[in-house]
Structure 1
Amino acid sequence: MSLAITSAHAADFQSMLSLWERSVRATHHFLSEDDIVAMRPEVAAAFEAAEYIGLALRVTRDGKGRVTGFAGTMAGTMAGKLEMLFIDPECAGRGLGKRLLTHAVTELAATAVDVNEDNPAALAFYRRMGFAVASRSALDSAGRPFPLLHLKLRQAA
């Protein structure tokens, strides 16, 4: 089965935000309800500002056109940083994450990603995909007490 990865459009943002929230609830068990509610507007703002901040947003869709996953990779001065990758929990285990990450690496030159230290499944996924921990931060990018692991794509031998 062929899977198209296309650019996201403003009409996709609400679906993407809903998918983000479902995915976070399914995978980010270290976040409280208050944390998720507080982060939701930040994620929505990133979608809205994507064009202006150099965030390339890509989506996958099911046969009905419903967004099933998305990724966001920075361009410009932050080029090569995968900022987000989320899959609809109903679609987990079908290779969407692998396809989106491969697209981000091969088409958008992604070589770095941050992962919450308390999300071992995501860390294992990125390690399987060729990333290695390069450093750690005690706080997330917004200064919250959610440690981040900064991963870099290993160089091919």
Structure 2
Amino acid sequence: MKNTFNIVLFNPQIPPNTGNILRLCANTGTKLHIIKPIGFDLSEKSLRRAGLDYYKKVDLRIYDSLDEFLKNNKFKNLFLVTKFGKKRYDKVGYKRNDFFMFGSEINGLTEEVYTKLKGSVKIYIPMISGNRSINLANAVSICVYEAWKQINFSTV
């Protein structure tokens, strides 16, 4: 099975979120990229528990920095998922192999990301006014399933 999309986690902090995203990636054929620093040990029990046996089924790439990630990946479309986005996530046309970058659960995406990826489209997921954020694993699921739906859930 070919990869459908690429999820990029920039500085993830909460093991169960990353574990749940691992499971999602295994079930949707999505490649997972993690950019350090990471707020936990990738072998941590809670990460493995949340990812169950799916851990070995995911094309997982880990990078020491944003620069290393950028050097090792060529992408036509990279979407920055942020509450400061200009386009609603379901109003964008996605294609196979698109990249979606999510920031840490605590700080979101940093100025470094916005500066180095200034040409990327910023997308947002609507939510009730006054709330801070949506859980990271839930936000990733929302975006992956919308994008996958747009390519008719194809895995070929």
Q: Scaled by the length of structure 1, what TM-score is found?
A: 0.33
Name the structure with the higher helix share: 1
**Which structure would you say has the larger RCO, counting Cα contacts within 8 Å and 6 or more residues apart?**
2
